[in-house]
């Protein structure tokens, strides 16, 4: 008989799930046993999705999941399941999409979804406070009301399944060929012309958009595509989102001026930052930006490598339970550093909660940076989620290759090849899988692996990489490609443990897997496969264009190659302007 009367996370490998192993909540993992228990006992499921470096996940955990009274209610009324969104991005994608469908607003983390006994969502939220505040009900109040609603409306809620699936299913437009640049114009009109990024706050460095803008600039030399990249690069390198002491960027800023970061550092952001900055330095060769590029790569080399020699996933925003404590300074700490006001904005009252987030006035010298590092070195570092994710490590191979083109003396190409050798030994000679479970893999793992192999091949002229890229492209088609829809499913076709088959055509924290596969097919000369995927993505474009920036670039690349133009995945020409 299946039992769910205790917390089973102590044996899990995920750093995020381990953070919850001592909660009084009877947490289960997303697996056959708890799902069967819910079905057999007609009990709703509380699904909580987060990740190890998520600040608001920690807040909700401390307020509610560590609270005995709250845990008692959860255990009594629900089957409680905890998921690491980086370990199961397919579940995160499905339930974030469900949240948006049910609430008509964007989701986020922690994601708190209520599912019926069959695992189908009927209600959801993100962060719920312990006590009612800011217009949000208390979590305990939510738990009781959801339970009451499920008991009284159970049959009607269960009947919603087909309607939920119908609304989650992607819609297509019959238009198969259309002008792409007018779609990009819509994105340009939504950008902040002074501060960079999309208008308003919070500010995210949406790399997919800016990578696509660089592609269209390289193709057309039209500066309207370059100007927004000029602005975003300057802001990312000089404002508070960048760590001027050690390098690397935070995930986003809560303000519109890029000053106050949400302090967690993610591998996926920094890998894409390196790629964008490297491409930008090809266009504008500037020593200031090259220094930022080098500092960020060196930071990742030093602080993101895990025990196996792969790149880990993220650094937490908090240390000693305080957000940003590791990164900010007091005025008293800084006032003794000679001439620091020349390089950073320093005020006694600070610029965030009486503390100072460093904003650059001029490029600091090594002595200033060394003194700042000495102050910081006395503090406890934030928690490091050392989890290896295959797709992100393959993205890092591409990032290192991009950086090597700007800084050839730094042996970044050699590091990229060494990283691939580790991937080859652990994954390619045995079984390709995403993170911990050897039974779990996603199209993004294949897409970014093939992309990295193409990059290695182009840079080294070693045909081994192209041969492997073709081999894994065919394997990806066998595992993920849905012939009836001419699209890749996010998870393998034959391995579904959730109510909905996830097809993802939108960019998220990383470029979309289907869009990257189209680029891969073109680079490998697999044009019949590319044509089918091109037609399919084009069909989705009119409906979901605001979320398909990487697809926009991929579709244009295909059209240029079909027209016989001399183009590559970065555009049709690259001009270098020396500064």
How would you write the pLDDT of the chain (579 residues) with one tens digit per residue?
678 999 999 989 999 999 999 999 999 999 999 999 999 999 999 999 999 999 999 999 999 999 999 999 999 999 999 999 999 999 999 999 999 999 999 999 999 999 999 999 999 999 999 999 888 899 999 999 999 999 999 999 999 999 999 999 999 887 767 899 999 999 999 999 999 999 999 999 999 999 999 999 999 999 999 999 999 999 999 999 999 999 999 999 999 999 999 999 999 999 999 999 999 999 999 999 999 999 999 999 999 999 999 999 999 999 999 999 999 999 999 999 999 999 999 999 999 999 999 999 999 999 999 999 999 999 999 999 999 999 999 999 999 999 999 999 999 999 999 999 999 999 999 899 999 999 999 999 999 999 999 999 999 999 999 999 999 999 999 999 999 999 999 999 987 799 999 999 999 999 999 999 999 999 999 999 999 999 999 999 989 999 999 999 999 999 999 999 998 999 886 444 444
Q: Which of 324, 368, 327 is nearest to 344 (CA)?
A: 368
Peptide bond just before 110 cis, omega within 30 deg: yes
CA dihedral 515, 520, 525, 529 (to 10 degrees): -50
The pLDDT score that the predictor gives to residue 578 is 42
Provide Rg for the chain, Cα atoms: 24
**Number of C-alpha atoms within 13 angstroms, CB side, residue 333?**
20
The pLDDT score that the predictor gives to residue 263 is 96
Contacts of 222 (CB under 8 A, 6+ apart): 216
Contacts of 90 (CB under 8 A, 6+ apart): 442, 490, 491, 498, 502
Record the tokens describing residue 408, joined without a space: 């050839």
User: In whole angstroms, what separates CA 355 from the centre of its chain?
Assistant: 29
Q: Is the pTM of this model over 0.85?
A: yes
pLDDT tens for 162-179 read 999 999 999 988 776 789
The Cα 293–Cα 310 span in angstroms is: 20
The pLDDT score that the predictor gives to residue 575 is 44
The Cα 75–Cα 5 span in angstroms is: 8
The pLDDT score that the predictor gives to residue 573 is 62
DSSP state of 133: B
Q: By three-state DSSP, how is residue 160 classified? A: coil
Q: For residue 531, with 0-12 CB atoms within 10 Å meaning exposed, 13-18 middle and 19 or more buried, which class applies? A: middle
The pLDDT score that the predictor gives to residue 178 is 83
pLDDT tens for 214-226 read 999 999 999 999 9
The Cα 139–Cα 64 span in angstroms is: 7
């Amino acid at each position: 008989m299946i039992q769910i009367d205790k917390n089973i996370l102590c044996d899990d490998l995920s750093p995020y799930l381990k953070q919850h192993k001592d909660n009084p909540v009877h947490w289960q993992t997303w697996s056959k046993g708890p799902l069967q228990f819910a079905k057999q006992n007609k009990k709703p499921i509380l699904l909580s999705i987060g990740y190890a470096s998520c600040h608001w996940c920690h807040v909700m955990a401390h307020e509610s999941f560590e609270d005995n009274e709250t845990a008692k209610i959860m255990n009594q009324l629900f089957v409680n399941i905890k998921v690491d969104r980086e370990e199961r991005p397919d579940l995160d994608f499905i339930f974030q999409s469900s949240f948006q469908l049910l609430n008509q607003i964007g989701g986020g983390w922690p994601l708190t979804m209520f599912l019926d006994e069959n695992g189908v969502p009927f209600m959801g939220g993100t962060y719920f406070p312990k006590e009612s505040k800011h217009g949000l009900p208390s979590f305990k109040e939510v738990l009781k009301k959801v339970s009451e609603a499920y008991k009284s409306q159970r049959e009607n809620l269960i009947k919603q399944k087909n309607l939920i699936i119908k609304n989650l299913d992607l819609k297509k437009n019959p238009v198969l060929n259309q002008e792409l640049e007018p779609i990009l114009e819509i994105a340009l009109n939504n950008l902040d012309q002074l501060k960079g990024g999309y208008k308003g706050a919070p500010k995210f460095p949406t790399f997919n958009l800016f990578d696509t803008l660089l592609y269209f600039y390289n193709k057309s030399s039209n500066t309207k595509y370059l100007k927004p990249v000029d602005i975003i690069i300057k802001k990312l390198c000089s404002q508070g989102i960048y760590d001027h002491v050690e390098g690397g960027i935070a995930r986003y800023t809560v303000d519109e001026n890029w000053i106050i970061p949400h302090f967690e550092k993610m591998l996926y952001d920094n890998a894409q930052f390196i790629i964008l900055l490297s491409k930008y330095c090809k266009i504008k060769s500037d020593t200031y930006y090259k220094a930022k590029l080098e500092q960020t790569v060196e930071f990742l080399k030093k602080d993101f490598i895990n025990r196996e020699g792969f790149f880990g996933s993220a650094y937490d925003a908090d240390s000693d339970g305080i957000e940003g404590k590791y990164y900010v300074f007091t005025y008293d700490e800084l006032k003794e550093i000679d001439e620091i006001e020349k390089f950073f904005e320093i005020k006694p009252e600070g610029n965030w909660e009486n503390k100072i987030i460093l904003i650059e006035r001029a490029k600091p010298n090594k002595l200033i940076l060394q003194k700042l590092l000495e102050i910081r070195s006395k503090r406890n570092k934030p928690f490091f989620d050392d989890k290896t994710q295959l797709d992100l490590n393959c993205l890092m191979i591409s990032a290192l290759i991009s950086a090597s083109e700007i800084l050839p003396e730094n042996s970044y190409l050699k590091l990229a090849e060494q990283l691939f050798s580790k991937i080859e030994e652990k994954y390619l000679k045995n079984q390709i899988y995403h993170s911990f479970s050897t039974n779990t893999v996603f199209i993004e793992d294949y897409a970014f692996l093939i992309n990295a192999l193409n990059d290695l091949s182009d840079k080294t002229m070693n045909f081994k990489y192209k041969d492997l890229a073709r081999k894994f492209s065919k394997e990806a088609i066998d595992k993920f490609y849905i012939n009836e829809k001419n699209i890749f499913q996010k998870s393998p076709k034959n391995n579904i443990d959730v109510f909905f088959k996830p097809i993802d055509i939108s960019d998220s924290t990383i470029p979309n897997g289907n869009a990257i596969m189209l680029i891969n097919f073109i680079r490998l000369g697999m044009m019949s496969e590319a044509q089918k995927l091109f037609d399919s993505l084009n069909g989705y474009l009119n409906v979901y264009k605001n979320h398909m920036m990487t697809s926009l670039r991929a579709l244009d690349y295909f059209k240029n190659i079909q027209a016989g133009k001399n183009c590559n995945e970065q555009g049709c020409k690259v001009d270098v302007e020396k500064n």
